[in-house]
Structure 1
């Protein structure tokens, strides 16, 4: 598998590397030749509409279903010729919890230790450590069916870690969780990466990808529509602008005359100036205002967020489920004094 970028520059060792991965079900092509390169010790997020093939990609890379074409290595092992070696390297947490609700959290953990053929003492030691790490000690002796949704997800990931995997596939791990539980799960994922674990994350929460992922790929119609960091993807989408608002009509009209390429809103006494939100462009705008002796009462910077990226790349008219609330952290409000 390739270990260098297209321009010949060396890349970090790959935890996951796939070339031309294909999968169809009947006449429906789910994956149409996707390429992936995920460096070890990073978080990679795969976004896409419902039915885009995210879960299918996870199932192929975790050896649960075979690919129809292409090749992939996970943890340095070929998924087709060395599936057992791949399985010894990875952990998988699916959309639906693998927790057995009829037994206790501790018993779930010990059962997983038995499945990994760990000696009894080692299994108990690992179980104790993970229950403490995931704040499940008080609930360890209770049936898992009594756990909250967030507790079950924590137990699910704790069970995944029993085998000390270096690569973890998290398929929509926070679906259905309340905001507090979701943020707790984000903290757990960050800790895993700090420990050197590679995380392959599928999610329908755009804010989640923005918060966690080093690189994001958008999957649409079986192909990777775009890939990059969150900031790189946002720069692909036009629409960034600076909004200037005035309370004095005379100052507003003077600013409209002094600035080029502005969109006016005479009722609101506001101007929209195209901008990528960079410090260089903001400084240039402020210098032009100063040169004209104009003082804006409010300056607001808007940059495209992952919602905008998702719309543009998938052609969807609505967000994936439960992502209707935009992420305030992607829209930065700054006064003129702040920019200075």
Structure 2
């Protein structure tokens, strides 16, 4: 028996579009990403005459979702960016308002150039990230290990790059996740499972149910035995290698660029090794709508078999698809936790 979720999508006037436009309202999709991509809200309408007109660019919508109105959870605030139109013989025409997380302000998207070094008060990656967050007017929460990591050779250049682009690049190099959420820039190590407030994210329990789809791709990695990252040793006056061992294999992966410090070489080697391991297992699981399922949380499949249940999964993306005629399905994309 299908259950009907409570859906609330309110704009500046505070009126729920799901109720006001119930004759053409199809549903919503909320996309929650662990890092690197911006969370999105799709508001879907049937397209019929008289045609609906899109709102002004930048209009902010608030989405709430739950199985009961009184328990509906806030899914986020999203700013309207563009409109998608589509049509199929069977399903008819649709108009989709594409909105992106309102936390991604113009300050984060603006392209600029600047340098960071000791003279400008930047000794560590934490100093750089705090400056980027301060200019955007948000708070910051950074993993202590990443915060204290010194800049390679004491210098970092931002060249014709957005602030969020630089922050994401730093995170990728260090095996971290950067995310704008709840008015805060969060930078955490992959697999640390921490929320923007610093607390532990609750695990997403997914019991096996034959009524929902799933797929798991688990591939043993035997190609590499170690990752080597080079760095320039100022004291010795020569290049040196730092090696991070992997679980198996015979080949050696050597990172192509010399790091400016031993600490950065160590972080780069660990990040590359973790990525090789993480890519060996990917999956998606569908389940009954669950607003508590968020990207970045540990995923605990139950009843799928020991080869799937026993993997240390992490949610890299979570999608909530809900509508008055379609119910509510939560889809969790997962990978081996770094």
Q: TM-score range by the shorter chain?
A: under 0.3
Structure richer in helix, relative to its length: 1
Structure with greater proportional strand content: 2
Larger Cα-atom Rg: 1
Normalising by structure 2, we get a TM-score of: 0.24
Q: TM-score by structure 1 length?
A: 0.24
